[in-house]
Amino acid sequence: MSWEEISRREYPCTCGKSTYTEIREMDDWNRNREHIIINCPTCEEKENIAKAEKERKQAENREHLKELVLEIKPYFEEHYMQKWLDYFVSAKHKKAAWMLAKEINIERQSLSSFYQSHKGLSVDDYVRSLANPHNMLKIIEVLNINDNSFIKKVEKAIDLNKSVYMLRFY
């Protein structure tokens, strides 16, 4: 599979002293990609500084996210895990727990994927695994938790996750 250039355009750079080149490519599967070549040393240096700052900020946010997760998990475990387990007390088997989790919109797996990934776990182990930071706002809502400090930490962790990873939560 190879990428083929489909267009190349030159534009004046922001400082006005040179140009940058925008290149668009397509592969055999009709996927597109584009990249930019900065032809101006001044603008290229500015771009490198901006990129380094962005990477530094992301690393800082990753560290803060790790710290928050290390606070959120044990706090939830200590203060709310029993209430969470009690919420699933009516689920006598894993499928019933999966159905309840689906109902409150914190389970994303299909039933067959669920069975494969949770083979050998008890209902309690499965319910505990659902109590992750990604699901925490929904759990807070379902359990009617009014702990503002805890809620703010969870919201901050979710915001940091979006800025660091843009898509997936750990």
pLDDT score, position 161: 86
- The total of structural domains in the chain comes to 1
Nearest to 91, CA basis, from 123, 114, 63, 44? 123
pLDDT of residue 164: 75
Q: Work out the average pLDDT over 99-104.
A: 95
Q: Which domain holds residue 64?
A: 60-165
Residue 167: pLDDT over 60 = no
Give domain status of residue 16, yes or no: no
Looking at the predicted structure, is the pLDDT value of residue 81 above 50?
yes
Evaluate whether residue 44 is within a structural domain: no
Those residues whose C-beta lies under 8 Å from the C-beta of residue 98, and which sit 6 or more positions away, are: 107, 109, 111, 114, 126
What is the pTM assigned to this prediction?
0.67
Across the chain, what does the average pLDDT equal? 91
The answer as to whether 51 is a domain residue is no
Strand 3-12 and strand 32-38: pairing? unpaired
